[in-house]
Amino acid sequence: MGTLPRSRVRRRRALTAVAAAAVVAPLVAGCGGSSGGPVTISFYDQPGSAVATQANADACTKAAAGKYKVKYVKLPTAADQQRLQLVRRMAARDSTVDVMGLDVTWEAEFAEAGWALPWTGDNETKAKADQLPGPLDTATWQGKLYALPYNSNTQLLWYRKDLVPNPPKTWDEMISMAQQLKSQKKPYYVEEQGAQYEGVTVWFNSMVASAGGSVLNSDSSKVSLGAPALSALQTMHKMATTVANPSLGTSQEGQAQLAFEAGSSAFEINYPFVWSAMIADAPKPGGVDLTKELGYAPFPSVKSGQAGRSTIGGIDLAISPFSKHKDLAFQAALCLANKPNQLIGATQGGLPPTLKSVYTDPTADFKKQYPFYQLIYQQLQNAAVRPKTPAYQSVSIAISHSVSPVNKINPSKTLKSLTSQISDALQSKGLVP
């Protein structure tokens, strides 16, 4: 198949989504103002931090003082099902959707399809105020703001202080330290997410960025892997074949954390939930309490002298163009993502905030639950973001299928194959998931 113009690509995707919408079960009806009561603003978001999200919705309903009420509608648990439900609703021009919680990889797709309103004027000014550079970057597409950062996430290096007095700054240093521990018959595994899913795509993207490169060029029109990607692949393969936990090929975030807690590992790359999970899972008296030995450090670099850059996650808030209450939806989104609500999301939902002031003027509760908050603040200012493209789903699948299992990577051949597959995805060649 030849290269399609971008307008035709968007049209084809939209028609595909409409066709899918026609065969699914009827959409759940939303609600607006009735009997003279306040307008209902429906907020569709993931369920992973439901308690905090509901608290945010309740707080904004109260703050609206009768102007509107926010109804939190839970999306499915799986990220791909979350996206699919929102895509179907937008393709069906569902007017009951007002505010959408978008994964940080969906903004380009929704913007190109006309499924997210741009933030302009006073709304844009308010949305950008106090935002950290990394999260704000995820909410933009082609220089325009299409969403409001709501929360974020970044991976840190976690290590055992009883085994590693000084944390490594590069992946090569970490591998060398692990090999030395192995020779001393001490715990030495490095835990990472190597299963064939989004987690390994994140790992690869972070490695490329930490080697000074990127998957796509600045305007997302071409593949831009090159030498940094080769270094990333070489380092990933080296780790997988020397000091990785044997379960690397099936490891996701939760499995990596449990494996670290088992006591056979010295290092772990993972999100901040590790801290609270370690405390919650602390062993009974007589067991090994690793909470006293858990250290944290920046995501390691691939290239000496080049700062490590972790690929960030999180949720951004977008406004549906089919909402019957667009102005109120913008107001509600600004409320949901304000400082008090981001603090609720952090302390009750375990989701790192996107606002500078939360980190520069932290509350006692925030500092207690995030003793590593300054490290998160640092990484969110120098963050890597996943490839920005409407074809992200295809790009991610190409990466995850090419680099997993990690111990089977052939750096040169894998790089060549990746370059070709991602280029095809950008041109909408082959199947689009």
Residue pair 378/299 in contact by the 8 Å Cβ criterion: no
CATH number at 156-311+391-426: 3.40.190.10
52 CB-near residues (< 8 Å, 6+ apart)? 344, 345, 348, 349, 351
Q: How far is residue 307's CA from residue 382's CA, in Å, rounded to a whole number? A: 9
pLDDT of residue 284: 56
Q: Do 7-152+314-373 and 156-311+391-426 share a fold?
A: yes
263 CB-near residues (< 8 Å, 6+ apart)? 187, 288, 290
Residue 72: φ, ψ to 5°: -80, 120
Q: What is the DSSP letter of 147?
A: -
Residue pair 106/392 in contact by the 8 Å Cβ criterion: yes
- Determine the 3-state secondary structure of 120 from DSSP: coil
Instruction: Verify cis geometry, omega within 30 degrees of 0, for the bond prior to 283.
Output: no
* Among 81, 54, 80, 83, residue whose Cα is nearest residue 69: 54
Instruction: Verify cis geometry, omega within 30 degrees of 0, for the bond prior to 300.
Output: no
Beta-strand relationship, 99-103 and 140-141: unpaired
Q: How far is residue 95's CA from residue 82's CA, in Å, rounded to a whole number? A: 18
Structure token pair of residue 93: 């021009």
pLDDT tens sequence for the chain (433 residues): 343 344 434 434 443 444 444 334 344 444 444 556 899 999 999 998 999 999 999 999 999 999 999 999 999 998 889 999 999 999 999 999 999 999 999 999 999 999 999 999 999 999 999 999 999 999 999 999 999 999 999 999 999 999 999 999 999 999 999 999 999 999 999 999 999 999 999 999 999 999 999 999 999 999 999 999 999 999 999 999 999 999 999 999 999 999 999 999 999 999 999 998 888 887 755 566 788 899 999 999 998 888 999 999 999 999 999 999 999 999 999 999 999 999 999 999 999 999 999 999 999 999 999 999 999 999 999 999 999 999 999 999 999 999 999 999 999 999 999 999 999 999 887 554 4
Considering Cα of 267, then 268, then 271, then 273, what sign does the dihedral take?
negative
CATH class of 7-152+314-373: alpha beta
Q: What is the DSSP letter of 266?
A: E
Q: How far is residue 420's CA from residue 433's CA, in Å, rounded to a whole number? A: 18
| Amino acid at the residue 315 | I
* Among 186, 158, 169, residue whose Cα is nearest residue 243: 186
* Among 267, 273, 202, residue whose Cα is nearest residue 239: 267
Q: How far is residue 37's CA from residue 68's CA, in Å, rounded to a whole number? A: 8
357 CB-near residues (< 8 Å, 6+ apart)? 130, 339
pLDDT of residue 239: 98
Residue 138: φ, ψ to 5°: -65, -25
Considering Cα of 408, then 410, then 416, then 419, what sign does the dihedral take?
positive
Backbone Cα Rg of the chain: 22
* Among 195, 127, 152, 72, residue whose Cα is nearest residue 314: 152
* Among 141, 151, 23, residue whose Cα is nearest residue 84: 23
Q: Which helix (H) or strand (E) holds 201?
A: helix 198-210
Count of residues for the chain? 433
pLDDT of residue 35: 55
Q: Domain spans of the chain?
A: 7-152+314-373, 156-311+391-426
* 391 HSE (CA, 13 A, CB side): 26
pLDDT of residue 4: 39
